[in-house]
Structure 1
């Protein structure tokens, strides 16, 4: 997968797409039509306001903040321009959120900073070598805001080119790991049967093409449905995925229009569920419906009970809500970066540094890492991205993680280059926040993987 293809990790719309109510009232339209308003939304550019990205740490003027609110739309938010930076760090100002407050006794992470890690490089797919990690972080082209890495329970590298350590930031599709892990935990408790159709739980989708999609195939994003997030689909204002995202935050509409759009999705001719990995945030949202149905509780409350309340975080967990107040668990988790790292540490042998309870047991971890089918992964866009981003091809996707390598390391990407990397066998984890346009190739995953290998060999 080369740089000219854009990674649509979550909630990424072309700039001409509008939030509208048309897809909420579909009875008068054909199954694949939606009325798109002619007026284009304002799209903020990258200017000297946030270049270098370090300017963000000084804050924004009141006029800029007010202008960002006036111009708020999904296309402007996802464009990775100046105003995107503010929105991504202040999600509750723009979208309703559910909040889980910290309840576990706070655990403070020790530092064992190794300055030499900033000199880390890695080899790309074509055999060329990257700049150093420090050079990458200080290049205005990449617009990384914060990155933090831990080995054996101690922070070994951190940098904040474009944010303060205490700032909140949206995870984008790195959020999907919370959905996948919750589903596996609920399976272990007998509350979720992965072999059942997802509509056994997500009854809002019953009687549609979703009936043939098992919970397992949904977790692995091998639905056999025509809902993949691709460049071509996002270039067509009448594509299914366009209709879906236009309805998800349709505040002025009926609220649950996104569910009606999901009910209209069609199967791909000649492809069965489980055959091929096709990335789509809509699948994750179907899993959110299933989790809420299986537990009878709001998504935030389930995640808080199973995971967040078990971690010694400093700040709250927030998750954005769709127009009908269902959590957008696959894209809108919002925390500080160190608390995000503490969550990542729960997948490693150093879980006891941040918790009294081993939530991700060896059995749960094995299930997460091996649920996906390597055959469905082969030839997928994500397989190509594993090479582009790290120079090292992944073995499979699994349980909402984009890449799982043969050595058991896992990575999940997010729109505008967010990311979580977990390498349990090397007792390493990392998190990155960014505000980088998706057409720019992301190398942060490769640096995290290279550092993990480097410190494990010491």
Structure 2
């Protein structure tokens, strides 16, 4: 999880030439906080060990109150954020929609004509941003875990089997998607939706996703380190889940959003764009069910929205990658993990524990 830049091609996301944004610290002893993890009471440190946490940072009212690193990870190390990266693409899309550069009601094929006639090409940007494309690949029945592995093979994340003759890039993969129902009739979480939106962003701006994310957010954030996107065989960023950053830089994105898009006296993201992130539109995205969840939550512009009364929205990735922003609790939690995904290993209830941390800090 911390070696992506050493195991394959990546593209730098420049941190910019500005000064680092230092978040003040107000350490709190949360190690011994008792939390309820699906009926089992344990100390927070015990829960983090069971969740295979690599690093966690809790910021409350703009101050870092808790920060821990495990498994050899250090503050300056970058870590894969998995599908947390989807939310970066969603935020960029929301920015360009707000500016009128991207039309949410137009189909992807308007921006990428070569994908016309495919499930993603014929879906609107709005439907893509809400995982509303109801598709299969190559005529196969859709089964999410298997299709995720096929996608990883296509873009080179995992080894391809002997005799493999399938797609070998992001765009080739997208071209194999066939619609099986009209867009917007079902919530179907799939990496292709994010890759499709990322392609639209490249077309309307004329720059790579890495350059766009740096220009609009990363280089204006006061980040500690450069970020990095992993690339496919054609040099295209893997937008859906191969972004690496330090823990503090992940938290900086969250704190910027909690503050309504500001860093100091600079408006990085318009406040109206941030406020809209928790406004899930009518439709199937109001009943999204992430892995390990016990009840549906909302999904908007590639952000998860639990409707918990605190205006919370968050980014989630496999193996325990999380960024939770809870304006009503004045809370931001960034979390990296290496939790095993297996039918025999329950997904750690990270969000439930984060809520308990927030309640404790609120007193």
- 1:443 aligned residue: 349
In the TM superposition, what whole-angstrom CA distance separates every residue of 1:338-395 from its partner, at most 9, and x where no partner exists? 111111111112754x4542233331023222244464443x432x7333xxxxx454
Q: How does 1:293-304 map to 2 (within 5 A)?
A: 293-304=203-214
Give 1:286 shift: 0.9
In the TM superposition, what whole-angstrom CA distance separates every residue of 1:15-53 from its partner, at most 9, and x where no partner exists? xxxxxxxxxxxxxxxxxxxxxxxxxxxxxxxxxxxxxxx
Distance 1:304 1:317 in 2: 9
- 1:401 aligned residue: 303
- 2:153 aligned residue: 246
Q: How does 1:370-409 map to 2 (within 5 A)?
A: 370-373=279-282, 375-378=284-287, 380-382=288-290, 385-387=292-294, 393=295, 395-407=297-309, 408-409=311-312
In the TM superposition, what whole-angstrom CA distance separates every residue of 1:284-324 from its partner, at most 9, and x where no partner exists? 11111111011111101111111011101111111111111
Distance 2:338 2:148 in 1: 23
Q: How does 1:275-424 map to 2 (within 5 A)?
A: 275-349=185-259, 352=262, 354-373=263-282, 375-378=284-287, 380-382=288-290, 385-387=292-294, 393=295, 395-407=297-309, 408-424=311-327
- 1:89 aligned residue: 2
For the aligned residue pairs, the C-alpha RMSD in angstroms reads 2.6
Preserved contact between residue 220 and residue 372 of structure 1 (Cα < 8 Å): no
> Residue 266 of structure 1 aligns to a residue in which SS?
strand
Structure with the bigger percentage of helix: 1
Seen in structure 2, the aligned counterparts of structure 1 residues 325 and 356 have a Cα distance that, compared at 3 Å, is farther
Structure with the bigger percentage of strand: 2
- 1:109 aligned residue: 23
Q: How does 1:52-67 map to 2 (within 5 A)?
A: none
How many residues end up aligned between the 2 structures?
349
Give 1:426 shift: 2.1
Unaligned runs of 5+ in 2: none
TM-score by length of 1: 0.70
Preserved contact between residue 37 and residue 349 of structure 2 (Cα < 8 Å): no
Preserved contact between residue 313 and residue 342 of structure 1 (Cα < 8 Å): yes
Preserved contact between residue 30 and residue 66 of structure 2 (Cα < 8 Å): no
Pick one of 314, 328, 351 that aligns with 1:425: 328
Unaligned runs of 5+ in 1: 1-87, 388-392
> Residue 221 of structure 1 aligns to a residue in which SS?
coil
Give 1:159 shift: 1.2
Pick one of 156, 160, 174 that aligns with 1:262: 174
Seen in structure 2, the aligned counterparts of structure 1 residues 351 and 428 have a Cα distance that, compared at 3 Å, is farther
In the TM superposition, what whole-angstrom CA distance separates every residue of 1:184-212 from its partner, at most 9, and x where no partner exists? 00111111111111221233412323343
TM-score by length of 2: 0.87
Distance 1:377 1:351 in 2: 24
Distance 2:118 2:199 in 1: 15
> Residue 171 of structure 2 aligns to a residue in which SS?
helix
